[in-house]
Structure 1
Amino acid sequence: MDHFLYRDGMLHAEDVPLSEIAAAVGTPFYVYSTATLTRHYRLFEEALSPLPHVICFAMKACGNLSVVRTLANLGAGADVVSVGEYLKARAAGVPGDRIVFSGVGKTREEMRTALTGGIRQFNVESEPELAALDEVARSLGLRAPVAIRVNPDVDARTHEKIATGRKENKFGIPISRAVEVYAQAAAMKGIEVMGIDVHIGSQLTELEPFEQAYLKVAELTRALRSQGHDIRRLDLGGGLGIPYERSNSAPPLPTEYGEVVKRTVGDLGCEIEIEPGRLIAGNAGLLVSSVIYVKSGEERDFLILDAAMNDLMRPTLYGARHEIVPVQEAVPGMEQRLYDVVGPVCETGDTFARQYPLPALGPGDMVAFRSAGAYGAVMASEYNARPLVPEVLVNGDQFAVIRRRPSYDEMINRDSIAPWLQS
């Protein structure tokens, strides 16, 4: 469920008509719903109750400070994968003891920043990283809290570019070597072992892969405890999918996911950590765009928008399909036309959908890409020297620009002319 509905013939974000936002900021723009963010976060809270748990929002899904603060005010922590995300989480009001630092390539400087600034735990991905973290922590006179990420070799049955739990993926250590690596960690003076981490992929639409992975984690927990390790946290990652098209069958609900967690690891007495991103933010955001031209080709019509692949990369990168709807509600019974929906970037890959049914549209008409709140704005670029688009947050009948569109001068002035090229 989201809070983007038609009222009086106009698509609204909560109580704000999208036409009002467009008049204020121009198109294209991203818009997020506070009510949807709140609802989705609370669904996970309810799903994991009464287990002790922490929900760390995966900032790679949507890192805007206002979105993160909205969730932090509800009690969310943050899952970060860079020092930039760590600093943004702190700036948004997430305390250090609710931040989990993930990622395969943490540098020593990133480790140092998080250790001195406060961190809940590092999810360690390899033995070289473990040794580096031990060295940095000892140099600061500290002990780094860690969960070691294990790779359970479970097929998440998702897109190959976002599957992370198979043995050929770069993430984690093989679960078959976990006992050996935990013994190494226990001997390090700069390391405090807190728990186990696992994450098998993103946009999962079935529960069975979670169950397979979590049963392996439960077995490993018992084995490590038998050898004297104090395993008190289980970081189960994120990955629960969302429906990108209304015609698709709905992925499992957080409540169903919560039952899997309780059934597989709920009897271990561990604090549960999860790192949802897409399910919290995905359906909480739209990308709104205007039609520039309708171009008739020999075999098809092209709907050319002012949004492009640099604004929403998912269709080009993953072949992803987003539901596209007119901002002005179509009259019931209005004939649909088939369009190739494209952007203005000079690449054939700048295509959002082919032969997509929409009512007849013309220049200036607006469309909205649903389910664009996750991996939308965060993956955007200034390719073709196109400025990043604004982000807007709605709360009831209020809206605020939470990232403005930079001017062309600002964009150009980020570059500098080398001294020998200046006259």
Structure 2
Amino acid sequence: MDYFEYRDGQLWAEEVRVADLVEQYGTPLYVYSARTLARHFTAFDAALDGLDHLICFSVKANSNLSLLRQLGELGAGMDIVSGGELYRVLKAGVDPHKVVFSGVGKQDHEIREALTADILMFNVESSQELERIGRIAEKMQTVACISIRINPDVDPQTHPYISTGLKKNKFGMDMLEATGAYLMAKRHAFLEPVGMDCHIGSQLTQIGPFVEALEKLLTFVDRLGSSGVTIHYLDLGGGLGITYHDELPPLPADLGKAIAETVGRRELTIILEPGRAIAGNAGILVTRVIFTKKTPVKHFVIVDAAMNDLVRPSLYGAYHRIREVHPRGREPMKVDVVGPICESTDFLAQDRLLPGLAVGEALAVFSAGAYGFTMSSQYNSRPRAAEVRVDGDHAILARRRETYDDLIALEE
């Protein structure tokens, strides 16, 4: 459930009319619901009740400081993939000992920054990375806690661009290489192997692939235990899907039950890294109609939001539900909703049934709270959108709209 709903013929974000936000802050505009964010985090936290666990929000899904601060106050940890994301979560006041650092290309300065911050652990993706972390930790005379990311060769049955657990993907190690890496880490004076990590993909709509990967990991945990390597943290990644259109993803409670039944009485701390499932339906992108245009073969609705604001439809062919902010009960027609960017791939929807729209009307693009603003750009020298966070009847400007001066602020 989210807290965007229609009341009295108007779209509301919690107790604030979206039309009022548009009037105050303009468009394109990202609007986030604090109650929805809290509800979704709590659902994951409750799903693992009875197990030692940590819910680490995937920062790449939405890195706005206001949202990170709220999640940190709720008890969330963070899954990061860059030094910049570490900087953000520390600025948001998140406990660094609840931070895990993932990603295949950690740079030296990022490793040093994470060691200085004393994060929970690195999710290590290759033997070269493990050796580098060991060298840097030795130079700093500190111990690096590590987890090896395992590639279990499990088909997540999702879009190929967001599949990460197959042999052909760049992520993680197979179990043969990982065995040697764990034994090397155990012998190293400045490495401490404490965890095992796996993330098979994003926007998953079935529990089966999760369980298949988990069973493989548990077998590997037992094998390592017989070699003297004790695993304390089992990080199962994120990836649980949300409803964009007609998907029926499992609930966090269903996933939690499957994990508990599979893990049994093992003394492990379970880590999950949801991002989309927490933030996705906690945000919308609001845009205004600039023009409407009819050709012999198409009807176009040209809006002020573009692929630089929300790239998922262009990049993945992703579906986002689009509705009027103020419905007027008109007959639907098939249209393409497109932006001002000079690319034919610049669209938010194609061949979509929408009511006849007039210039100046506002539209809401739903399920935009994850991989929306974080993937946005300044392409075509377009200042990025503003972000607003609504909590009850109170709205704050969580990130101001960029200006032309911002576009050139770093240039000579």
Contact 1:244/1:321 (<8 A) preserved: yes
Contact 1:29/1:289 (<8 A) preserved: yes
**1:357 corresponds to which letter in structure 2?**
L
Aligned pairs for 1:125-274 within 5 A: 125-245=125-245, 248-274=246-272
**2:288 corresponds to which letter in structure 1?**
S
For 2:332 and 2:349, locate their aligned partners in 1 and report how far apart those are by CA, in whole Å.
Answer: 15
Query: How much identity, in percent, do the aligned residues show?
Result: 48
Structure 2 residue 302 is matched with structure 1 residue 299: no
Deviation at 1:97, TM superposition (A): 0.3
For 2:123 and 2:137, locate their aligned partners in 1 and report how far apart those are by CA, in whole Å.
Answer: 15
**2:386 corresponds to which letter in structure 1?**
P
For 1:50 and 1:237, locate their aligned partners in 2 and report how far apart those are by CA, in whole Å.
Answer: 19
SS at match of 1:355: strand
SS at match of 1:72: helix
Deviation at 1:319, TM superposition (A): 0.7
Match of 1:381 among 377, 381, 387: 377
SS at match of 2:234: strand
Contact 2:199/2:238 (<8 A) preserved: yes
**1:119 corresponds to which letter in structure 2?**
I
Structure 2 residue 362 is matched with structure 1 residue 349: no
Runs (5+) with no aligned partner, structure 2: none
Runs (5+) with no aligned partner, structure 1: 417-423
1:187-226 superposed Cα distances (whole Å, 9 cap, x missing partner): 1111001011111011111111111100001101111111
For 1:412 and 1:111, locate their aligned partners in 2 and report how far apart those are by CA, in whole Å.
Answer: 30
Match of 1:281 among 279, 295, 313: 279
Deviation at 1:121, TM superposition (A): 0.5
Aligned pairs for 1:103-122 within 5 A: 103-122=103-122
Q: Match of 2:21?
A: 21
Deviation at 1:266, TM superposition (A): 3.5
For 1:413 and 1:174, locate their aligned partners in 2 and report how far apart those are by CA, in whole Å.
Answer: 45
For 1:102 and 1:295, locate their aligned partners in 2 and report how far apart those are by CA, in whole Å.
Answer: 46
| Number of equivalent positions | 412
TM-score by length of 1: 0.96
For 2:324 and 2:115, locate their aligned partners in 1 and report how far apart those are by CA, in whole Å.
Answer: 48
1:335-361 superposed Cα distances (whole Å, 9 cap, x missing partner): 111111111100100012112111111
For 1:227 and 1:264, locate their aligned partners in 2 and report how far apart those are by CA, in whole Å.
Answer: 23
Residues 1:199 and 1:295: Cα distance change in structure 2 (over 3 Å): same
SS at match of 2:177: helix
Structure 2 residue 328 is matched with structure 1 residue 338: no
Contact 2:102/2:122 (<8 A) preserved: yes
Aligned pairs for 1:23-42 within 5 A: 23-42=23-42
Residues 1:30 and 1:239: Cα distance change in structure 2 (over 3 Å): same
Following superposition, which runs of at least 4 residues in structure 1 exceed 3 angstroms of deviation?
Answer: none
For 2:188 and 2:28, locate their aligned partners in 1 and report how far apart those are by CA, in whole Å.
Answer: 52
Contact 1:121/1:146 (<8 A) preserved: yes
Deviation at 1:118, TM superposition (A): 1.8
Contact 2:291/2:303 (<8 A) preserved: yes
Contact 1:51/1:266 (<8 A) preserved: no
Q: Match of 1:421?
A: none
Q: Match of 1:317?
A: 315
**2:236 corresponds to which letter in structure 1?**
L
Aligned pairs for 1:380-399 within 5 A: 380-399=376-395
